[in-house]
């Protein structure tokens, strides 16, 4: 059992998650930022339902990038279309939490 803290900015909401309880909300990959956000009533757009078919769940990792799953090719390809793309951008539906992380949800 591992408990992780996930902070969503600019809402400044921090939630604790137990990785043995994934999936939480059944959207995106189990234990993804989107899965965690939806399970804790944190607003994160997800027009495609978390299937890596859009970029509405785009987030920017501010801390703990090493505590997220590695980016796969389909996520990398999709991110190229995200508005406000940075080198620390991830799709919330694909980035699985494996430790403490702070992410910003762009406006």
Nearest to 85 by CA among 101, 66, 106: 106
Percent residues over pLDDT 90 in the chain? 86
Mean pLDDT of 75-90: 95
Domain carrying residue 17 = 3-104
pTM: 0.93
Report the CATH number at residue 68: 3.10.20.30
pLDDT in tens, 3-47: 999 999 999 999 999 888 777 777 899 999 999 999 999 999 999
Bridge partners of residue 89, in order along the sequence: 60
Tally the domains of the chain: 1
Quick one: how far is CA 28 from the chain centroid? Answer: 9
In this prediction, residue 27 carries a pLDDT of 82
Confidence of residue 1 (pLDDT cuts 50, 70, 90): low
């Amino acid at each position: 059992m591992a408990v992780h803290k996930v902070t969503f900015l600019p809402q400044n909401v921090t939630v604790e998650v137990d990785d043995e309880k994934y999936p939480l909300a059944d959207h995106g990959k189990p234990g993804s930022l989107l899965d965690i956000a939806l399970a804790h009533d944190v607003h994160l757009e997800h027009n495609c339902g978390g299937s890596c078919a859009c970029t509405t769940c785009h987030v920017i990792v501010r801390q703990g990038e090493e505590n997220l799953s590695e980016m796969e090719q389909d996520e990398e390809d999709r991110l190229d279309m995200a508005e406000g793309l940075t080198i620390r951008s991830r799709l919330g539906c694909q980035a699985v939490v494996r430790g403490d992380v702070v992410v910003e949800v762009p406006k």
